[in-house]
Amino acid sequence: MITIRRARAADAPAMARVHLAAWRSAYAGILPAGYLAGLSALREGAAYEQAILERRGGHAAFVAVADGFEPGGAGVVGFVTGGLARRPGIAEGEVETLYLLDDAQGRGVGRRMMRAIASHLASLGAQSAFAWVLEANPSRWFYERLGARLAAREAIRFAGQPMVQLAYAWTPIHTLLSATAVTRLPR
Ligand SMILES: CC(C)(COP(=O)(O)OP(=O)(O)OC[C@H]1O[C@@H](n2cnc3c(N)ncnc32)[C@H](O)[C@@H]1OP(=O)(O)O)[C@@H](O)C(=O)NCCC(=O)NCCS
């Protein structure tokens, strides 16, 4: 079984491992291979640790952990982070990252992680929420499946390439809370 719980600073190295694996899988063919190869677990881990400790703007992280692997972080199969929106104009709360190892996908864990961050954002007083996603990332259909509406489209440069990013929003945030409501036992 997989449990979702608030992340601790000690989870940061495991979160970084999931980050690298998810990026190298999800963004293969979308981002340059050299960029993906150059991702650093040490750098990402330090950033996640700092974010967990600082809690800037109500920032929080939740990890999905496969039972039987604690302690040591080996069981972390995914995580979600978010807080109050980093820039105004789209929605009040922001889902900043959402990653799951390939093996753990398709079993409802993504929805449960979105439930955790949605509840957290609502507890901060956010009346609405959004997430950025690259247009080329098929995971954007996951957000649509959870009831999000396209709220913004932006041309950006990422990893030295022109790309398009989309903001998907849940307004009001209750649309996300409803779409992620517990309706069945976790698998
Ligand atoms: C996006 C992600 C977290 C989804 O997690 P998941 O556990 O596989 O999703 P769930 O099993 O909870 O799926 C919930 C629903 O969304 C649907 N869904 C999931 N991924 C989907 C996709 N890519 N396209 C369309 N629908 C999708 C499921 O079919 C399910 O529908 P249901 O209501 O019929 O049950 C996961 O695929 C992932 O980590 N992807 C790679 C990293 C990434 O791109 N993250 C987003 C960066 S912005």
Classify 178 in phi/psi space as left (phi over 0), alpha (psi -120 to 50) or beta.
alpha
Q: Tell me which residue of 108, 92, 14 sits closest to 52, measured CA to CA.
A: 14
What percent helix, strand, coil does the chain show, rounded to 5?
Answer: 35, 30, 30
Question: What is the per-residue pLDDT for 178?
Answer: 96
**Could you report the per-residue pLDDT of 24-82, keeping only the tens digit for each?**
999 999 999 999 999 999 999 999 999 999 999 999 999 999 986 655 556 999 999 99
The mean pLDDT of 133-148, rounded to a whole number, is: 96
User: If you average pLDDT over every residue of the chain, what do you get?
Assistant: 94
Question: What is the per-residue pLDDT for 69?
Answer: 61
Q: 101 and 64 in contact (C-beta within 8 Å)? A: no
Residue 137 in contact with ligand 1 by CB distance below 6 A: yes
Task: Identify the residue whose C-alpha is closest to ligand 1 atom 29.
Answer: 106
Give the pLDDT band (50/70/90) at residue 184: low
Question: What is the per-residue pLDDT for 11?
Answer: 96
Question: For the CA atoms of 133, 154, 151, 79, what is the dihedral angle to 10 degrees?
Answer: 20
Domain boundaries, the chain: 2-179
Distance 7 CA to ligand 1 centre (A): 21
Question: What is the per-residue pLDDT for 73?
Answer: 57
Question: What is the per-residue pLDDT for 148?
Answer: 98
Question: What is the per-residue pLDDT for 72?
Answer: 57
Structure tokens at 60: 């929080």
Question: What is the per-residue pLDDT for 182?
Answer: 80
Residue 109 in contact with ligand 1 by CB distance below 6 A: yes
In the predicted model, is pLDDT for residue 137 greater than 90? Answer: yes
Secondary structure element (H or E) that encloses residue 59, with its range: none
User: 2-179 — its CATH code?
Assistant: 3.40.630.30
Structure tokens at 3: 């449990």
Question: What is the per-residue pLDDT for 67?
Answer: 83
In Å, what is the CA distance from 157 to each residue of 65, 153, 160, 187?
A: 34, 13, 6, 39
Q: Which alpha helices (DSSP H) does the chain contain, by range?
A: 12-26, 33-37, 41-54, 109-123, 140-145, 174-179
Residue 119 in contact with ligand 1 by CB distance below 6 A: no
Give the pLDDT band (50/70/90) at residue 168: very high
Question: What is the per-residue pLDDT for 92?
Answer: 98
Give the pLDDT band (50/70/90) at residue 186: low
